[in-house]
Amino acid sequence: MKRAIYPGSFDPVTFGHLDMIERSAKIVDELVVGVLNNSAKNSLFSVEERVSMIEEMVADFPNVKVASFDGLLVDFMKKIDATIIIRGLRAVTDFEYEIQIAQSNHVQNPDVETIFLTTNLQYSYLSSTIVKEFASYGGDISKFVPEQFIQRIYSKYNR
Ligand code: ADP
């Protein structure tokens, strides 16, 4: 069985992430969306909030699970018996960083392979940072995130 992990901060999850989840769930047997609990990063949503938002979003996907992790990704992958990492490439700017991480992970554990999916053109501009930027000014984020999350995001900015 091919179990893959799609790791990220998902702070908050966007339509770009959802598109990645839908597409990668079709090419692996089981997909674990891994929410990074990075205490060094100042996140808008707690790790519990991020996990539960993604869980709501993927409720209809039978082969997708959500889990949080901290520490090294390769260590978490050993624990859950996953060998594939899924990452998205939006632009050339993603590439340099991503290839370095992918190669480091492969050196750490040669059984681990990273698969890159190119972003859907429709969402190539979209990032969690853009969502936060717009929401902080009360901008329209309805094209960025599922409707049920809009108010939750605004309320973080007292809107
Ligand atoms: P990280 O902090 O690890 O980059 P993110 O939550 O920002 O976490 O992104 C997680 C993954 O989703 C990354 O591989 C990123 O390239 C990908 N991703 C983010 N936004 C999009 C998008 N709009 N389209 C496709 N992939 C995306």
123 CB near ligand 1 (under 6 Å): yes
Q: What are the backbone angles phi and psi of residue 32, rounded to the nearest 5°?
A: -110, 120
Nearest by Cα to 35 from 49, 23, 25, 56: 49
List the beta bridge partners of residue 36: 69
Question: pLDDT tens track of the chain, all 159 residues?
Answer: 999 999 999 999 999 999 999 999 999 999 999 999 987 778 999 999 999 999 999 999 999 999 999 999 999 999 999 999 999 999 888 899 999 999 999 999 999 999 999 999 999 999 999 999 999 999 999 999 999 999 999 999 988
- Domains in the chain: how many in total? 1
Range of the domain at 89: 3-124
| Residue 132 forms part of a structural domain | no
Q: What is the pLDDT of residue 107?
A: 97
The CATH number given to whatever domain includes residue 74 is: 3.40.50.620
128 CB near ligand 1 (under 6 Å): yes
Q: What is the pLDDT of residue 91?
A: 85
| Residue 115 forms part of a structural domain | yes
Contact call for residues 89 and 121 (beta carbons, < 8 A):
no
